[in-house]
Amino acid sequence: MDELIKKAAADLAAARNVVALTGAGISTESGIPPFRGKGGLWERFDPMEIAHIDAFMRDPARVWNLLVKEMKTIVDSASPNDGHKGLARLEARGILKTIITQNIDGLHQAAGNTDVIEFHGNFAWQRCMDCSRKYQTSQVDISEVPPRCSCGGILRPDAVFFGEIIPPEAMRRSRQAAADCDLMLVVGTSAVVQPAALMPVFAKEAGAKIVEINPEKTPLTGQISDYLIRGNAGEVMNRILQQLEK
């Protein structure tokens, strides 16, 4: 692993335009459970029943009670871990330009990254379904659900439900960022879910290096990524930063 850490540090130092693609794996160390896979929320819930826009429109109070309240508790108390902080330090050093994330926890912004493209919106904010006013999720009073805007409209997460489209601007900017970068860091994601799965492919086709940081091999490994550094995001980012700062 030492050799790969050195290689990644050298590749990052030599790159002109670095983009990171992140997923659930970077946030598990912050206590945010993944939706998919082992221990994920979808082992306990049928997402089509409680995380589909139709289910929310039918009965917002039910979705708030079954899903949104629990997510609010988790996200309200979460803070960035060394994986997020490492990416923020890469931006501060002028190396990392943009993060494309599948996460909705807002932890990249909390860590200090300033250009974060969110495929699935941001759960750290709620928005009024009538007037679109936004409220910070942690400030929303949920003693009665669904919570309401001062205009009387129902508040919903500013995140993408199943059955809703990826925000077109996020899609457009991601494709551009992927096509323009010369190194893409893929962190904490197996990148099997669309549209995230396409981004390393676009980057590769445009000639970028793809460096993967994941605990296990993924479908990208050996196909799309140039190399995989096996490990948790926090530990690997710390070691890369140490090497860069030598």
Residues involved in catalysis: 120
Segment lying near Zn ion (by CB under 5 A), choices 54-62, 128-136, 173-181, 198-206: 128-136
Q: Measured from the CB of residue 55, what is the shortest distance to Zn ion in angstroms?
A: 22
CA 143, chain centre distance (Å):
29
- The first and second tokens of residue 144, run together, are 């009665």
| Contact residue for Zn ion among 54, 130, 164, 205 (CB under 5 A) | 130
240 binds Zn ion (CB under 5 A): no
Task: Give the binding range for Zn ion (CB under 5 A) out of 29-37, 131-139, 182-190, 220-228.
Answer: 131-139
**Alpha-carbon dihedral 27, 31, 32, 37, rounded to 10 degrees:** 90
- Find the part of the chain contacting Zn ion (CB under 5 A) among 3-11, 59-67, 120-128, 167-175: 120-128
Q: Which is nearer to Zn ion, 152 or 207 (CB)?
A: 152
Task: Find residue 154's DSSP bridge partners.
Answer: 148
What residues have CB less than 8 Å from 70, skipping those under 6 apart?
none
Among 104, 124, 149, 199, binds Zn ion (CB under 5 A): 149
Residue from 61, 151, 192, 206 binding Zn ion (CB under 5 A): 151
Part in contact with Zn ion (CB under 5 A); list of ranges 145-153, 179-187, 193-201, 225-233 = 145-153
Number of residues that bind Zn ion (CB under 5 A): 7
Is 61 near Zn ion (CB under 5 A)?
Answer: no
**How far apart are CB 68 and Zn ion at their closest, in Å?**
17
Label the pairing between strands 155-159 and 121-128: antiparallel
Given a contact cutoff of 8 angstroms between Cβ atoms, the answer to whether 183 and 211 are in contact is yes
The string of DSSP codes covering 102-127 is ---S-HHHHHT-S-EEETTEEEEEEE
Applying CB under 5 A, which of residues 40, 47, 112, 153 lies at the interface with Zn ion?
153
Rule CB under 5 A: say whether 215 interacts with Zn ion.
no
Q: Is 131 in the site for Zn ion (CB under 5 A)?
A: yes
Element at 213 (helix H, strand E): strand 209-214
Torsion sign, CA atoms 50, 51, 52, 57: positive
Q: Judged by CB under 5 A, does residue 140 bind Zn ion?
A: no
Give min distance, CB of 140 to Zn ion, in A: 13
Assess 128 for contact with Zn ion (CB under 5 A). Answer: yes
155 binding Zn ion? (CB under 5 A): no
Question: Which tokens hold the place of 104?
Answer: 């909705």
Q: How far is the CB of 130 from Zn ion (least distance, A)?
A: 5
In angstroms, rounded to a whole number, what is the distance separating the alpha carbons of residues 200 and 178?
7
Q: How far apart are CA 227 and CA 1, in angstroms?
A: 11
For the bound state, the minimum distance from the C-beta of residue 158 to Zn ion, rounded and expressed in Å, comes to 13
Q: Going by C-beta distance under 8 Å and a sequence separation of 6 or more, which residues neighbour residue 27?
A: 78, 81, 83, 84, 103, 105, 107, 188
Tell me how far apart the alpha carbons of residues 91 and 93 are, in angstroms, rounded to a whole number. 5
Residues at the contact surface with Zn ion, assessed by CB under 5 A: 128, 130-131, 133, 149, 151, 153
